[in-house]
Structure 1
Amino acid sequence: MAWSNIVRTAKPAAKVKGGAAMLRPWQISLGARIDPARDTPIYMQIIHALIRDIETGRLASGTYLPSSRELAAALAVNRKTVVLAYEDLIAQGWLCTEGTRGTVVSRSLPAPPKPAGSGAELASGSTHYRFAAPPERPLALPGGSGIKLDEGAPDGRLFPSEQLARAYRTAVQRDSRANRMQYRDPRGSPRLCEEIAGMLRSQRGLNFTAANICITRGSQNGLFLALQTLILPGDAVMVEELTYEPAIAAIEALGGKVIAVGLDEGGIDVVEMEAACRRHAVRAVFLTPHHQFPTTVALRPERRLQVLEIARQFGVAIIEDDYDHEFHFQSQPLLPMAGYAPGQVIYLGSMSKLLLPALRIGYLAAPKPVIAAIAHRVSLTDGMGNTVTEDACADLIESGEVRRHARKAWRIYAERRQFFADLLHSELAGRAHFDMPDGGLAFWVRFDGDLDEIESKAQATGLRFASHRSFMARDSAAKGLRLGFASLDKTEAERAITALAKATR
């Protein structure tokens, strides 16, 4: 049971020296910080509380403290506990004794910074050091409460939690027995690298081995690592005029220059791409060719070959983000560009859509020297990944659970895709336009009227979604909203689209 709000004034103890009385007016207020239920010994809690009071200036240098008997009585603890705390603080140099006058805050301590850590300072956000402030940009998906239309997230409720718990339990037991819970290779769990390489070979036609794989903390982390390995400040990186906003943020955070090029129903404009490569020293191009983000269009085979030829001609690395390969609903999915030219492409994938975004498992596949360079970057910021989570994921792949879940989720998402399309037709007919996406977990919807006004009205009703401006790499790009359907059941989808329809009227 915590002792709350014990605030007592120590009796003014008169210590006479030369006829002058020494008063100790300090109010004891350590009680709110002392809790016998905590694992930390009480004498250590007293030590920490006194140090905090000294550091914040509440106990100034030269302040006399209550006697050990007075403080023990005020806190209802054994006097020996307080004696032990005082002795430790004296040994550390925070306190000192002045003979019969008692215990005092060391007079050699410097004065604390004026209102450091005060409530007013924290509220104002002021600091006494320089730091890199975040850029002014709209977040891809704002927080808060209300109806949420994401950008194409999976439904985390579909994955069987008991299977995940079993995989974690197995991984913990196996890794403990094998002494694998130590620091390890920043490339990631060898078991997971093997499983992912096997998955890419059998399902996506990519001839990678485990040596070509580096596990990352999700696809966004993988994208940042790839860019960090490829570019220096001032280098140009090409993106489509409608693209994944965090990619732009990552390029700019690394000091890169964003070059936006056109986009149509066939994917990236290769004529404008080549012209941009002639005007700028482009080091990399970021593409989502399977289901273009945000428009969902597929980069057709003939354009893929043209993109690869331009990249070879100008020495441009292609970062291919294949973020939801499994969920293609019309015909067979196109093979990744990395299968055409593995020496030209850094392939970025994620287990978030297959399993759960919360697991934070992504991966990069590339030639071995590139993977070694990326692993070095991982070692600087992460050191290593999460062995237990990665091995649990490897167990789920090896056991076939991932494939079974993917088949089940595909059927559910196919039904939700059709239901969502029907809702858009019925609720937004004549006011919004879209093409049924061949794959992916979201729709790209264009609206008649002022989209800024529509967004404002929709958000006022509690509907949350990514701003259309978050997708635009240049002002001339087409305007639209990317609306995810996979994470919503029928009731949730109806509520969301009904609210959006009201905002368009």
Structure 2
Amino acid sequence: MLRPWPVSLGDRIDASRDVPLYMQIIQALIRDIERGRLASGTYLPSSRELARVLGVNRKTVVLAYEDLIAQGWLESAGTRGTRVAAALPDPVNRHRSDAEITMSSAVVDYRFAPPPERPIAVSSGPGLKIDEGAPDGRLFPAELLARAYRAAAHRGAQGNGFQYRDPRGSPALREAVATMLKSQRGLPVTAENICITRGSQNGIFLAAQVLVERGDSVVVEELTYEPAVAAFRALGANIVPVGLDEGGIDIEAVEHACRRNAVRAVFVTPHHQFPTTVSMRPERRLRLLDLARRFGFAIIEDDYDHEFHFESQPLLPLASYGPAHVLYVGSLSKLLLPALRIGYVAAPPQVIDAIAHRVSITDGMGNTLTEDAAADLIGSGELRRHGRKVLQVYAKRRESFAAEIDRLFGDLVEYRMPGGGLAFWLRFRTDLDRMEARAAAMGLRLASSRSFMTTGDAPRGLRIGFASLNAYEARTALAALRQAAG
């Protein structure tokens, strides 16, 4: 005589799902045990009987039972059959609802830090996306990347190079980045001054982690890179906005902030200020370094697109003549590919040690294969050759983009031709709130003008990338933006 079976699994086992049948049986039985519908010591039907009821092969049920016994949910009672393990706790206080709970439908009853109401990144999905200055990944030769990966994989396999390693990053890439920064940007660095990160944003966050404690103040410009501000706020920093103009950050305002606050860091993008694209003048750079010495704060210098300049040679980074006071953050995303997520921080060795410790407890280590492939591309000169080629493409796109802006917008927009970088800063003589709402309704996706603002009265504008768009895409994007402007 069959034992009475307290639950039915039939309505939860479905061969059309992409989950294997034996795994569906395991999941259903665990849920019933966890919710108290199957109490400790309850005998289950034989594998043959349950297979008949569910309409599955008996081996499927046997496999499910064996896995559950191995995990400790069930136990074999010899000739008496299989039962729920007696050692499981009393189910009296467990949830007894018959409703199926999934990770998506579960009600979270523990404390966690939710995301902000407005996410930082421009959302993905259908519609036309205008970025804030991304490169065109289609221009990088796929075969070149594949060759670099093949070479890195071959060397790694032969030299047992795929094990856990230094959280500072691949030795080959650290050496290549140090050589690049020394020869092309004037930074007095060696490999010991470099920590490889997962992109520049990761580098900014790691730098902030070793500099900022809750309650410390970080000075930023009134228009700036929102993800950096979000990183500082996540660490409990007090954000102190200061003004900027055509010469860059307002140095008097920085000094005033230092006299009134416990400033631990100043975040700047001096090469091509984000989002306005202006370059910080040399005299302001020197004065900012002088303030760092006097007040004991660190400068986080985000040099996110140093490689792209169209009208003159770029100014040397602050870190090239103030290495003791600057954490220099850079990236290969603009020159190589954003999807590879390769950034770096250059700083004194003791600071790099602190950053590497943070890497070790959050990421463990980076991606050795990708980092070694990137080192190959730098060492072989391929990355520099690619940079020269795309610079010519982007220079033409910049000119065409400006001409299209003039044709479509006329006096409706104010801008200046960016001397470098991959984006324009556009100031509109129209209601921006209305314009952005209409753009969103049309399926146009772009970063909100308010996302760049750290104060309510900061000058408003839109940062519009041109490099990732071919001629047709640029015309389409700007035409849609013009239509949204009314």
Whether 2:119 is the aligned partner of 1:169: answer: no
Q: What SS does the aligned partner of 1:429 have?
A: helix
What does 1:207-246 correspond to in 2, within 5 Å? 207-246=188-227
Listed one character per residue, the Cα deviations across residues 413-433 of structure 1 (whole Å, up to 9, x for unaligned) are 001101110111111112111
What does 1:385-464 correspond to in 2, within 5 Å? 385-464=366-445
- Indicate which of 224, 229, 244 corresponds to 1:248: 229
* In 2, Cα distance between equivalents of 1:492 and 1:115: 56
Q: What SS does the aligned partner of 1:439 have?
A: coil
The CA deviation at 1:91 is 6.1
- Indicate which of 477, 483, 486 corresponds to 2:458: 477
Are the structure 2 counterparts of residues 278 and 163 from structure 1 closer, same or farther at C-alpha, using a change threshold of 3 Å? same
What letter corresponds to residue 467 of structure 1 in structure 2? S
Size of the aligned set, in residue pairs, is: 484
What letter corresponds to residue 281 of structure 2 in structure 1? R
Give the equivalent residue in structure 2 for 1:6.
Answer: none
Listed one character per residue, the Cα deviations across residues 220-263 of structure 1 (whole Å, up to 9, x for unaligned) are 00000001001111000000000000111001100111000011
Are the structure 2 counterparts of residues 119 and 237 from structure 1 closer, same or farther at C-alpha, using a change threshold of 3 Å? farther
Give the equivalent residue in structure 1 for 2:90.
Answer: 110
* In 2, Cα distance between equivalents of 1:138 and 1:44: 36
Give the equivalent residue in structure 2 for 1:26.
Answer: 8
Deviates more, 1:135-144 or 1:45-54: 45-54
Q: What SS does the aligned partner of 2:411 have?
A: coil
What does 1:271-286 correspond to in 2, within 5 Å? 271-286=252-267
Q: Which has the larger radius of gyration?
A: 1
The CA deviation at 1:72 is 3.5
The CA deviation at 1:67 is 1.9
Give the equivalent residue in structure 1 for 2:352.
Answer: 371
Contact 1:95 1:105 in 2 (8 A): yes
Give the equivalent residue in structure 2 for 1:86.
Answer: 65
Give the equivalent residue in structure 2 for 1:141.
Answer: 122
**TM-score (structure 2 length as normaliser):** 0.92
Give the equivalent residue in structure 2 for 1:8.
Answer: none
Contact 1:24 1:66 in 2 (8 A): no
Give the equivalent residue in structure 2 for 1:152.
Answer: 133
Listed one character per residue, the Cα deviations across residues 392-445 of structure 1 (whole Å, up to 9, x for unaligned) are 000111111101110111011001101110111111112111000100000000
Are the structure 2 counterparts of residues 306 and 118 from structure 1 closer, same or farther at C-alpha, using a change threshold of 3 Å? farther
Contact 1:347 1:366 in 2 (8 A): yes
**TM-score (structure 1 length as normaliser):** 0.89
Q: What SS does the aligned partner of 2:324 have?
A: coil
What letter corresponds to residue 55 of structure 1 in structure 2? E
Is there any run of 5+ residues in structure 1 with no aligned partner, and where?
A: 1-12, 16-21
* In 1, Cα distance between equivalents of 2:281 and 2:468: 28
* In 2, Cα distance between equivalents of 1:91 and 1:417: 64
Listed one character per residue, the Cα deviations across residues 43-95 of structure 1 (whole Å, up to 9, x for unaligned) are 77754553344335565556553322223345666646645653564565423
The CA deviation at 1:316 is 1.4
Q: What SS does the aligned partner of 1:428 have?
A: helix
Give the equivalent residue in structure 1 for 2:44.
Answer: 65
Give the equivalent residue in structure 2 for 1:201.
Answer: 182
What letter corresponds to residue 217 of structure 1 in structure 2? R
* In 2, Cα distance between equivalents of 1:247 and 1:389: 25
Are the structure 2 counterparts of residues 128 and 24 from structure 1 closer, same or farther at C-alpha, using a change threshold of 3 Å? closer
Are the structure 2 counterparts of residues 117 and 363 from structure 1 closer, same or farther at C-alpha, using a change threshold of 3 Å? farther
Are the structure 2 counterparts of residues 264 and 85 from structure 1 closer, same or farther at C-alpha, using a change threshold of 3 Å? closer
The CA deviation at 1:215 is 0.2
What letter corresponds to residue 95 of structure 1 in structure 2? L
Q: What SS does the aligned partner of 2:454 have?
A: coil
What letter corresponds to residue 432 of structure 1 in structure 2? V
What does 1:304-383 correspond to in 2, within 5 Å? 304-383=285-364
Is there any run of 5+ residues in structure 2 with no aligned partner, and where?
A: none
